[in-house]
A and B are shown apart, each in its own frame.
Chain A
Amino acid sequence: MKALVAVKRVVDANVKVRVKPDNSGVDLTNVKMSINPFDEIAVEEAVRLKEKGTVSEIVVVSIGPKEAQEQIRSAMALGADRGILVEADDNQLGALEVAKILKGIVEQEQPQLILLGKQAIDDDSNQVGQMLGALLGAGQGTFASVVNVTGDKVQVTREVDGGLQTVELNTPAIITTDLRLNEPRYAALPNIMKARKKPLDTKTPADFGVTTTTKLKTVKVEPPAERKAGVQVKSVDELVDKLKNEAKVI
């Protein structure tokens, strides 16, 4: 079966971002960018399914600026076969618009498995996979920690608040990955070289009939309230005393 994996170019998970002084957003100039960590897990899962013989082709798609082709190339270096970049301004697109573009791609490519990260670590929305499921009328296995494909059914073990839940979905199925699904591999140098030669198509949102901009307007972006500096206590006695008499929490 064919697998489609959606990846997003986001600020690297280890970067501590700063809010711009004019409160218009977060300053991303000269900041290291990477594949969203959850999406990397989605790529890895698709590659593992291909290695098992379940998946025959992996198409990786990214929607974002021209530079997002770096992330598509990274995904191809990990084992994806070809890429589609939908060039668009991230600021215009909300989760709903992204889901609509992905719907267009799914209709064109007809994958049986659609893998996405459960959330992007920049907007922390956790919406696109679910929205795509609705638009396609496909089942969703969100927050997946185990994926098993048998015939035209997919069993997904999901991380839910009380523990784990397993559901079975008809294909085409949407899977959004949780951190524990797998440990993504590193791309080997020869694979990075090979990835440069893999096909990469460029499209626009209009190619999929999506021209609207998000109806969620960001009014301002502020830094979170600072916590006041704490104190180092020298002994357990001092700690107990502070908690009882100063903080009064025990």
Chain B
Amino acid sequence: MSILVLAEHDNKTLNGATLNVVAAAQKIGGDITILVAGSGAQAVADAAAKVAGVSKVLLADNAVYAQQLAENVAGLIADLAKGYTHILGASTSNGKNILPRAAALLDVSMITDIIAVEGPKTFKRPIYAGNAIATVQSEESIVVATVRGTAFDPVAAEGGSATVEAVAEVKDAAISKFISEEIVKSERPELTAARIVVSGGRGVGSGENYHKVLDPLADKLGAAQGASRAAVDAGFVPNDMQVGQTGKIVAPDLYIAVGISGAIQHLAGMKDSKVIVAINKDEEAPINAVADYWLVGDLNTVVPELVSKL
């Protein structure tokens, strides 16, 4: 078994999601190589070389990979794929953008969002917004898959001593171009990796109230902040905070849902959290069915009281 893992990074630092993918790779077993495709990404490759359990790092450093456009990176992966039995990436917007394209270039089917490794070619993955778990077996020569980070404990970021090899190959499909990006700045922990997540829904009423009520709670707990789709669509908070089937999948130790009714699509993104707390004025809210503790009350009084008592 020989596994190629696509690194998640921003050309400066290695994203923690990569460590979860390496953990899944270790469950499959075999030699693990990390591919860093970027521009000016030597620091990322050096960090990847220290990841526990990794034997080799491939660094494809070229301006054409600067924003990791799928058209270029997928071509690179397809070229490098020879000799690997598995190609894995994180179930992030990046991994989901690039890997299916690489799989099709290799003419193989792909498995999205694996949550368990049952064998070298057999995996579990959620379907129907997490309302069913499918066990799928790949009969392809190369298994291409994305890994749901929250389903695998990350490997240590330090302790490895892989060699870094430069990849000379430059794949420029020249059919797409990066124009701009707008990255949301936040001092809080990253949503998908946080130990505690505080989320607000339509019930918080407004963007102003979201911050007034939930910021102190998140500050007190050192928590990341999330939101339901309703809160995002209403413009309370930016969409990269959305938790759910179509947003981010989180599984923190503690998830506090405030003013969230608990639609199927939202539950798909958080129901694997260890402990779920629901604060809602509606006794019948579906969120209560998955909550470990639920408190019926007005969030505008309950949450500040909670902050004061923590």
Contact = CB atoms under 8 A, between A and B. Distances in A.
B294 interface: yes
Q: Is the interface of A mostly helix, strand, loop or mixed?
A: mixed
A194 B58 CA distance: 57
Contacts of A143: 93, 97
B294 A167 contact: no
A130 B131 CA distance: 25
Contacts of B239: 145, 159, 180
Contacts of B181: 160, 162-166
Nearest to A240: B309
Contacts of B182: 163-165
Contacts of B245: 121, 124
Contacts of B134: 218, 220-221
Interface in A201-219: 214-219
Contacts of B176: 139-140, 167-170
Contacts of A16: 131, 264
Contact of B293 (A26, A164, A178, A230): A230
A236 B305 contact: yes
What's the interface size class on B, roughly? 35 or more
B109 interface: yes
Interface string A115-144: 000110111111111111111011110110
B128 A121 contact: yes
B97 A224 contact: no
A188 interface: no
Interface string A5-24: 00000010110110100000
Given A127-B110, A243-B293, A217 B139 contact: yes
Contacts of B209: none
Contact of A216 (B109, B129, B253, B265): B109
Contact of A134 (B69, B101, B232, B246): B101
B169 interface: no
Given A216-B136, A221-B133, A159 B93 contact: yes
A232 interface: yes
Given A131-B103, A218-B135, A232-B296, A122 B112 contact: no
Contacts of A95: 100, 109-110
A236 B101 contact: no
B127 A124 contact: yes
A197 interface: no
Closest 9 CB pairs of A and B: A134-B104, A130-B100, A131-B104, A127-B100, A139-B176, A139-B175, A215-B139, A166-B179, A249-B254
Given A134-B104, A161-B94, A216-B140, 8 more contacts: A95-B110, A122-B128, A124-B113, A130-B96, A130-B97, A131-B110, A162-B183, A221-B134
6 contacts: A124-B112, A167-B179, A168-B177, A247-B254, A249-B275, A250-B221
